Structure 1
């Protein structure tokens, strides 16, 4: 289990600056970061392009391109997606809880620059929502800002699902795939990104392109937040320069040897980590899970498969029937039935590109990489089992 407030830094603390002393109220926030500069839309676009800033959610879309896709006028809203529905991620909730003013600086600054009449913050965590509301009472931004509660479901964190929930509809992604910059909140142009993106924008506004680029990769400088958990001695949220070697992070966290899951439950398994650097979109949602060697890998994957199937939006066959079939496939595979392996490969070949949202594709990526990385364990199960119990190293909500 990952501790919510466990933070650490490799290199320079920027987004996590000051959090070693706990939550930053308005005064401590200003002491730590200084006053927020007032920038124009052109300023934000130029800065984001200069440092190659990408969104810090799963899609890693370039912020400058997102800004450029918005019309010149009549932008309806800026939306902060705080519905961190990936169950093993903690970085966005941690920022909302401990550094709400940094997130608000980025969001309010951009809303003013775009002339957006609405600033909406979608949050499913009660503690984070309370922290945000307390922070708003300490500020006078002169904007219409709302903190909205959203469901704590996996698909509810997808951008279009968030917009649907904000409009009073179901928190599920609609079948149409239209960018929020074209048709977002109330079908009008909207800038939507996740919590860390706005915190990084606030840091970028203060440091400028040159200061922001003093650490990290040349192609995408700065820092990144990573949630690390599983079989590690020091789980939590780590701020690192972009491009840091994965092995450095694993050693820093005291990870046990063994396979590593990169990107969470829509990510992929790695048998080896040497030589791999952490950069987007490879690192995806910023999640690193060490499995260790004491638990049954296939049993762990089966547990997550059951949960992924339960999170279906119920809108398409690949999600409703495909994921349910994979639960049965992996159940038989764990029990040593070769038909489960064959059927899993067959079903995984039918899912990608056919779903109404990204959930089937992401789940298929997670499971396909598991079959590849744990091929030797599959053979052990066919021969009578791997001899290891399932310890529940991978966190599954509700267990």
Structure 2
């Protein structure tokens, strides 16, 4: 493993038996085009016409929370000059740094993916929507180094949690408020300004860029048969090596966090708390075990902090990130946050009321935000049941809340 130590600011960059997406990402600036091509080779002449076959052959899954098959998403967009290609670089998940690291350090890999997808869909309409100023500057500097990206624009994104949802970004780019609409229409059907749109997150485009340079065989040189290749995660909290890590699929989660008995948050603030046990970094396998890779966040709380207080801080932040479109999100999440805050403060809480509220919010929101927040909280109540019981007794655990889990104010 290679570890870059940074005393403050962005996290370290690590590789764990794979060095593809993060190849060359060792300095503070971005990898220039000349070095990028030395690391990955030339962009294949047949990358665009072979894109659909290539993504199917490596069974590439999107690197957003839904892990949607990229081949299916590509097939849903009929090629043509009106198609829009959109990179979602908003990364509203405050615990995740992976997309920002890609854009800041290896923007050419992201742009490779944009160029290949746009060519495959026969369009010149392509944008990278990003809220991070350093990432935007690196992308623009990289675009100035290459002739094949003249049709790619870097535009501002909302940078909020719900604003990073696909339909929210489509609305923003169409001139509307950055909130998900009530109609769950896929962007491939009705996207930016009503045009068919291929939209995915930064890591997905970087994976497509890697595929365009290295081909299916090079791409699948690591990983598993079910999920070839590698993926990125942000490791934080009480883990052996905090930072953004590139890890081959199939690696044990226990290896990342320092033990199978550790309680770990997988997937971020729409993810789940669980034991590391024998879980492996593979999306289908994790889904079968009732958890998710989600935003690629892997967090472990140190013993010195109060887990109930940490969870309460995040649930309150999630409540504040409501799009304000439905009662379960506006009132339900606020009530849940108040309950957990009372629990953290050792105020007696009616657990039957808390359970009822979780049930009233789950499955009733206008977007995925309420369900994601409920999953985070419900799994925490189980994972930290002993601490919850101590707090419910009125005694409290006696530990301070250190703020290990970042919220929007920490970004």
Q: TM-score range by the shorter chain?
A: over 0.9
- From the superposition, tell whether residues 39 and 2 of structure 1 become closer, same or farther in structure 2 (CA, over 3 Å): farther
* 2-structure distance, mates of 1:55, 1:261: 20
On the 8 A contact 1:330/1:341 being kept in 2, the answer is no
Q: What's 2:287 paired with?
A: none
Q: Does 1:34 align with 2:41?
A: yes
* 1-structure distance, mates of 2:269, 2:9: 19
On the 8 A contact 1:67/1:191 being kept in 2, the answer is yes
Q: What's 1:397 paired with?
A: 408
- From the superposition, tell whether residues 373 and 142 of structure 1 become closer, same or farther in structure 2 (CA, over 3 Å): closer
Q: What's 2:269 paired with?
A: 265
TM-fit CA distance, 1:20:
2.2
TM-fit CA distance, 1:210:
2.3
TM-fit CA distance, 1:273:
0.9
Q: What's 1:358 paired with?
A: 368
On the 8 A contact 1:80/1:121 being kept in 2, the answer is yes
Q: What's 1:308 paired with?
A: 318
* 2-structure distance, mates of 1:368, 1:330: 11
On the 8 A contact 1:154/1:311 being kept in 2, the answer is yes
Aligned length: 395
On the 8 A contact 1:259/1:290 being kept in 2, the answer is yes
CA deviations on 1:104-151 (whole Å, 9 max, x unpaired) are 011111101111230011001011011111111111116422111112
Q: 1:379 is paired with a residue of what secondary structure?
A: helix
TM-fit CA distance, 1:70:
1.4
CA deviations on 1:13-45 (whole Å, 9 max, x unpaired) are 001011124520122212222211133655111
On the 8 A contact 1:256/1:292 being kept in 2, the answer is no
Q: Does 1:278 align with 2:285?
A: no
Return the TM-score normalized by structure 2: 0.92
Q: What's 1:342 paired with?
A: 352
* 1-structure distance, mates of 2:307, 2:84: 44
On the 8 A contact 2:236/2:298 being kept in 1, the answer is yes
Q: What's 2:3 paired with?
A: none
On the 8 A contact 1:329/1:343 being kept in 2, the answer is no
Q: Does 1:48 align with 2:48?
A: no
Return the TM-score normalized by structure 1: 0.94
Name structure 2 gaps, 5 residues minimum.
1-6, 285-291
On the 8 A contact 1:93/1:128 being kept in 2, the answer is yes
* 1-structure distance, mates of 2:42, 2:142: 15
TM-fit CA distance, 1:378:
1.5
On the 8 A contact 1:259/1:292 being kept in 2, the answer is no
On the 8 A contact 1:51/1:209 being kept in 2, the answer is yes
Q: What's 1:297 paired with?
A: 307
Once the two structures are superposed, the pairs formed by residues 114-263 of structure 1 within 5 Å of their partners are 114-141=121-148, 143-251=150-258, 258-263=262-267
Please identify, of 80-89 and 256-265, the stretch whose mean Cα deviation from structure 2 is larger. 256-265
Once the two structures are superposed, the pairs formed by residues 10-29 of structure 1 within 5 Å of their partners are 10-22=16-28, 23-29=30-36
Name structure 1 gaps, 5 residues minimum.
none
CA deviations on 1:50-75 (whole Å, 9 max, x unpaired) are 11100111111000000111124455
Q: 1:339 is paired with a residue of what secondary structure?
A: coil
* 1-structure distance, mates of 2:311, 2:47: 47
On the 8 A contact 2:272/2:376 being kept in 1, the answer is yes
Once the two structures are superposed, the pairs formed by residues 71-110 of structure 1 within 5 Å of their partners are 71-110=78-117
Partner residue of 1:385 out of 389, 392, 396: 396
Q: Does 1:324 align with 2:368?
A: no
TM-fit CA distance, 1:398:
1.6
* 2-structure distance, mates of 1:256, 1:12: 22
- From the superposition, tell whether residues 40 and 138 of structure 1 become closer, same or farther in structure 2 (CA, over 3 Å): closer
- From the superposition, tell whether residues 5 and 296 of structure 1 become closer, same or farther in structure 2 (CA, over 3 Å): closer
* 2-structure distance, mates of 1:144, 1:211: 28
On the 8 A contact 1:167/1:185 being kept in 2, the answer is yes
* 2-structure distance, mates of 1:216, 1:40: 22
On the 8 A contact 1:38/1:109 being kept in 2, the answer is no
- From the superposition, tell whether residues 5 and 172 of structure 1 become closer, same or farther in structure 2 (CA, over 3 Å): same
Please identify, of 300-309 and 334-343, the stretch whose mean Cα deviation from structure 2 is larger. 334-343
* 1-structure distance, mates of 2:188, 2:208: 18
